Amino acid sequence: MSDHQHDDQCGCGEDHEEAVFVVTDENGQEHEMVVVYTFESEEQLYAVMLDRNEPEADGMIVRVVEQNGDAFLEPIEDDEEWERVSAIYEELAEQANNA
């Protein structure tokens, strides 16, 4: 499993300008979301996103799909995939909290 938290001190050499994604919730409200963490499972990349203006609110996990060199974010709609991915995220979060 591969994971990387980007910030100004991570030393990876990538530009860390914050990319903002506007997501509309089920009530029609728009939220500015930022990717705070990525991880891989079964050769698929996933991104954990938090609300830029409410970082303490619940975040979301989305699938990152690459097509023709571009990356797209897709919701996870398969229950089995969601169970697997959310369990991995919970384990990663627990490890981070215990560090």
Number of domains in the chain: 1
What is the pLDDT, as a whole number, of residue 1? Answer: 38
pLDDT (tens digit, 9 = 90+) per residue, 65-89? 999 988 889 999 999 999 999 999 8
DSSP readout, 30-52? EEEEEEEEEEEETTEEEEEEEES
Note down the domain range covering 18.
3-98
Token representation of residue 65: 């799909």
Find the largest Cα–Cα distance for the chain.
Answer: 39
User: Residue 92: is its pLDDT beyond 80?
Assistant: yes
Q: One-letter amino acid identity for 65? A: V
pTM value?
Answer: 0.74
Closest CA to 42 of 93, 96, 84, 89: 84
Q: What is the pLDDT of residues 9-60, one digit of tens each?
A: 555 555 556 788 898 888 999 999 999 899 999 999 999 999 999 988 888 9
The answer to whether residues 88 and 96 touch, using CB atoms and an 8 Å cutoff, is no
